[in-house]
Amino acid sequence: MPEHPLHVIFDNPVIPPNTGNAIRMCAGTGAHLHLVEPLGFELTEKHLRRAGLDYHDLADVTVHPTFDEAMKAVPGRVFAFTTTATTRFTDIAFEPGDALLFGTEPTGLPQEHIGHARITSELRIPMLEGRRSMNLSNAAAVATYEAWRQLGFIGGA
């Protein structure tokens, strides 16, 4: 069994409260949060700290200088969440050690990252027609909790 049930990767996040929310969510689920530089903020930014409340010390967060370094750091499959994917995230049988990859807030994942050799599949979160995308931290929470549910809420109370 991997040390962390899941890995969440934010590729070049730029909005501090989204990352703060993800830190809190990862602290609550045991997921390891990976942040790929460049970041649009400092990890000491007050809005990030406020969104994460007092959970920063309870979460495992790693900052990677490159996308390739982040891909090397995760042990399992890597699922890229995009708005153009045809496979719903609920159609996947998640496994311990899987990684959930999300792109930057304004533009999503760049094509070269979606096409990276480590990407197992592209997934989408269903939404009503005509909607562009979900908020980054909300999308990460929805996907992480579904994956963790499938894993039997490993370590959860």
Known binding-site residue numbers for S-adenosyl-L-methionine: 103, 125, 133
Q: Yes or no: say if 81 and 119 are a contact pair by the CB < 8 Å rule.
A: no
**Binding positions:** 103, 125, 133
What is the DSSP secondary structure assignment for residue 38, as one 8-state letter? S
What is the DSSP secondary structure assignment for residue 15, as one 8-state letter? -
Q: Yes or no: say if 133 and 124 are a contact pair by the CB < 8 Å rule.
A: no
Dig out the tokens for 150 from the structure: 């499938």
Report the C-alpha gap between 8 and 102 in whole angstroms: 8
Task: Give a three-class secondary structure readout of 67-111.
Answer: HHHHHHHCCCCEEEECCCCCCEHHHCCCCCCEEEEECECCCECCH
